Amino acid sequence: MGQKNQMIMANIFTQKTETPEYKMLKKLDNIEIREYPELLMASTIMGSSYSGNSGKGFSTVAGYIFGGNDKNQKISMTSPVVVDMADTMKMSFIMPSKYNMEDLPQPANSRVELHKEKSRILAVISFGGWANDIKLNKYKELLKNELKKYNLTPVGEYIFFGYNPPYRLVNRLNEVAVEIHPDLGD
């Protein structure tokens, strides 16, 4: 199945799950340049390996949205799950757009922190299947090469976006992204 069909299937699947709205700035061969708004996030530190730590990271942040907070309040799951691909990885859930920082309940688990992610411009490459350390590194390198090809400057760490729940076995959508310098060479 082609990448376009994978994206359509992922969008149909996540139709009831809120995803952040972004503005498509450019499509360049294998990558998209997108502008994302400010986002509220609930995050936890995972460790240095996606494959070895993603389950624990997910469970920690999921505990917060499933009621592990000072109001015992359930918060809707959004998509994608975001993983900062630094040496020490951080897993984050994007909070639903109806919330502002003052409305969010405080986490009961001290390993969960709430923060605002500033508005930013991201270069994004998509891939299907299951994410693992090997695939994340492969698509990170492919994205780096695309950025060089178009003289775009990365800013900060690379990010993984995982859109599908674990019970989704086929037509999965994943992305690797990085913030880029806002000068797009127009």
What SS3 state is found at 134? helix
Average pLDDT, the chain: 88
Report the candidate in 157, 15, 137 with the shortest Cα–Cα distance to residue 92. 157
pTM reported for the whole predicted model: 0.86
Over residues 101-150, the pLDDT tens digits come to 999 999 999 999 999 999 999 999 999 999 999 999 999 999 999 999 99
Cis peptide before 166 (omega within 30 of 0): no
The answer to whether 173 and 114 have CB atoms below 8 angstroms apart is no
pLDDT at 50 over 90: no
* CA pair distance 185, 151, nearest whole angstrom: 8
Q: What is the mean pLDDT of residues 51-79?
A: 91
Pick the more confident residue, 125 or 55.
125
pLDDT tens, residue by residue, 19-38: 999 999 999 999 999 999 99
The residue ranking higher by pLDDT, 166 or 112, is 112
Distance, C-alpha 22 to centroid of its chain: 13
For residue 7, the model assigns a pLDDT of 43
Class for domain 39-117, per CATH?
alpha beta
Torsions phi, psi for 150 (to 5 deg): -105, 15
Amino acid at site 127: F
Position 185 scores a pLDDT of 52
| The pLDDT value given to residue 77 | 94
- From residue 179, alpha-carbon distances to 36, 109, 154 in Å are 10, 29, 6
Residue 81, strand partner residues: 93, 162
For the chain, what are the domain ranges?
3-36+119-180, 39-117
The backbone region for 163, taken as left when phi is positive above 0, alpha when psi lies in -120 to 50, beta otherwise, is: alpha
pLDDT of 2:
39
Give the number of other CB atoms < 10 A from CB of residue 122: 21
In this predicted structure, the answer to whether residue 52 has a pLDDT above a threshold of 60 is yes
pLDDT at 13 over 60: no
